[in-house]
Amino acid sequence: MHRWSKYSLTTENIGIYEEIFEGLHIIDCHTHIGLDADGYKLNTTGLLKKMKESGVDISIVFALNEPGTTKDFHHSNDKIGAACKQHKDKLIPFMRLNPHHPWKHEFKLRMEQGFKGVKLHPRSQNFKIGSRKAMDIYAACSDNQLPVLIHAGMGLENIADDVFKMCKTYPKLKVILGHAAFVDMDNVIKKVGHKENVLFDTSSLRLFDLYDLIKKLDHHKIAFGSDIPYYDVDWAMQGLIDTAIMLRKRAHQIRKIMGDNVRKWFR
């Protein structure tokens, strides 16, 4: 039984908690290490400590928007690579790229080093999800079978058409929509919620957004993410599981959300 589940146990749900956590393999698909320009920071030791405390088995990890590195993220990606090389059983490295800066050398280098995906942040790097420069990166990811995780949250709006354009142009591209595209969730779900290679991650979602996401979207399309250090892993996990239980999701469906849905891309 998970250490926080005692706070949520009732006669009605104790059985489903036991089913969920029995042998559960948790993957957090949205974590950061480094220092962000906004002051948030987290080092590898801190991330691993929180993973252990929260029962997270594996985290997808990428760089924060680190001052002085955001043109090509080379030094930040170096740090991610070093951390993941040392803890390869716990951390999956995603390279961070900037569509406005020549990125092909960085992409090739990190591919050779075993990075497993790409992180893009339209707000921080000031580009549109459907822009030509971003589409070039999606093409490279699709050709090399690398997932791309895109910030689709705070600071954006009306993104459904661009997300649809990306998915239609590259139908084999594996996409994780950060923060479940909550800024335009209904429209994004309508346009790409049925796409086989699109996952909506739950990182830093408010409870009413979690409710809408789980109610409106098939459980196979949702992946657990915390957004640490911006959000607490335990709260992210508890809010997701309790909301899913409230919406009468079965234990096996919640287990898919907590790890299985994204794990299939990294076997």
Q: How far is CA 193 from the centre of its chain?
A: 16
* Residue 68 to residue 175: CA distance in whole angstroms: 28
Could you give the strand order of the β-sheet that contains 175-178, starting from the edge strand earlier in sequence?
41-42, 27-35, 58-63, 91-96, 117-120, 148-151, 175-178, 198-201, 222-223
Looking at residue 91, the DSSP 8-state letter turns out to be E
Question: Tens-of-pLDDT digits for all 267 residues of the chain?
Answer: 455 454 454 556 677 888 999 999 999 999 999 999 999 999 999 999 999 999 999 999 999 999 999 999 999 999 999 999 999 999 999 999 999 999 999 999 999 999 999 999 999 999 999 999 999 999 999 999 999 999 999 999 999 999 999 999 999 999 999 999 999 999 999 999 999 999 999 999 999 999 999 999 999 999 999 999 999 999 999 999 999 999 999 999 999 999 999 999 997
Alpha helix segments (H runs only) across the chain = 14-21, 44-54, 74-86, 104-112, 132-143, 160-169, 185-192, 207-216, 233-246, 251-255, 261-263
For domain 5-266, give the CATH superfamily.
Answer: Metal-dependent hydrolases (3.20.20.140)
Domain boundaries of the chain, sorted by first residue: 5-266
* Residue 80 to residue 172: CA distance in whole angstroms: 26
